[in-house]
Amino acid sequence: MSAQTATKVETATAVPRILGERAPKVTARNVDIYYGEKHAIKSLSVDIPDRAVSAFIGPSGCGKSTFLRSINRMNDTIPSCRVTGDIKVDNKDIYARDLDVVHLRARVGMVFQKPNPFPKSIYENVAYGPRIHGTASGKADMDDIVERSLRRASLWDEVKDRLNSPGTGLSGGQQQRLCIARAIAVNPEVILMDEPCSALDPIATARIEELIDELKQNYCIVIVTHSMQQAARVSQLTAFFHLGILVEVGDTDDIFTKPKDKRTQDYITGRFG
Ligand SMILES: Nc1ncnc2c1ncn2[C@@H]1O[C@H](COP(=O)(O)OP(=O)(O)OP(=O)(O)O)[C@@H](O)[C@H]1O
Ligand SMILES: [Mg+2]
C-alpha cells in the first residue's frame, strides 16, 4: 500500500480506496428485494466502482445472485420478485418508469454460471446482440465487431477458422469465453458475472480470470464467486453477504486481511458457508 492511499483511508469515512479514486458506476441505496413474502435482500446500500472488478461473496442463499440480477433488471422476469429502493447506473435510476429495459441490458450485460451459447454458429452468437440493437452498419462492420469481440474475449485464435460451426460444439471454457464475447459485442459498460467459472476446469478458469483482469481496464465488472481465492485474485472491491444483508464491503486486500465483522472473518477463514 502506498503512503498516499494509506492517508486516504485514515481521512475517509470507510470509503474503499478503489472508490476514492473514481466515481461509482453503480450505486444502490436502501434496496430491498422480495420473492413474495421472502425478504431476500435487506436494506442494501453499496457503491460499485467503474473500471474495476467487484466480487460478491457469501454463503449459498445469502442473496448474491438476487442483488446481481437487480442491476440489469433480470429479476423483472421472475413474477414474484419485487425490488424497492434506488439503483442507479451513472447516477440514473434504472427502475425509472420510462427506462428501456432492452437498452439497459445492452449497457449492463450478464454472463451466467453455465455457459449458454445460442444454438447458432459462433459468428451468429456474437452478431446476435449488435443485430438486435442495430449497431452494425453492414456486413463488413459486423465482421469487424465479431472479430473484435472474440479477440477481446481471447477466443479469436481458437475459432477464427470455424466461425460458422455451432457455438455449442466448443469446450466449456471456450463456450464461456464465447458468452463473454457475446456480452461484449454490444459495447456494454457493466458486465455482471454470476459464478462464471464454476462449470470450468482450473485451466479454463485461469483463462477467464486473466480475461476479467484485462476487461477491467474498460468495464465495470461484478462477479459472484464461491472461491475466496478467485475473489482475492481478480477483484479490487469485495462485498460479503450474509442472510440477505450486505455485512461488509471494502477494498479486497482489507476484507481478506483485516475484516471488521466477525461474520466476514468466519466466512473467509472457512468457518461457515
Ligand atoms: N426465483 C425465486 N423464487 C423464490 N425465492 C428465490 C428465488 N430465487 C432466489 N430465491 C431465494 O432468495 C434467497 C437468495 O437467493 P440467491 O439465489 O440470490 O442466493 P445466492 O447467494 O446467489 O446463493 P448461491 O450461492 O447458492 O447461488 C434464497 O433464500 C433463495 O431461496
Ligand atoms: Mg447465486
Beta-bridged to residue 194, according to DSSP, are: 224
Question: What separation in Å is there between the alpha carbon of 230 and the centre of ligand 2?
Answer: 16
Per residue in 156-200, pLDDT (tens digit) is: 999 999 999 999 999 999 999 999 999 999 989 999 999 999 888
Q: Distance from the CA of 61 to the center of ligand 2, in angstroms?
A: 7
Q: According to the model, what pLDDT value does residue 212 have?
A: 94
Rounded distance between C-alpha atoms, residue 56 and residue 244, angstroms: 12
- The answer on pLDDT for 115 being more than 80 is yes
Summarize the confidence of residues 57-68 as an average pLDDT.
97
Task: Identify the residue whose cell numbers are 445469502.
Answer: 62
H-state helical runs in the chain: 3-11, 17-20, 64-70, 101-107, 122-133, 139-152, 156-159, 172-184, 202-215, 228-234, 252-257, 262-268
Q: Residue 116's pLDDT band (boundaries 50, 70, 90)?
A: very high
Q: Say yes or no to pLDDT of 22 above 50.
A: yes
Strands 38-49 and 24-35: antiparallel
**Domain annotation for the chain: domains and CATH numbers:** 3-268 (3.40.50.300)
Q: Whose CA is nearest to atom 25 of ligand 1?
A: 60
pLDDT at residue 204 in the model = 85
pLDDT tens sequence across 43-59: 999 999 999 999 999 99
Binding site membership of 80 for ligand 1 (Cβ less than 6 Å): yes
Is residue 207 over pLDDT 60?
A: yes
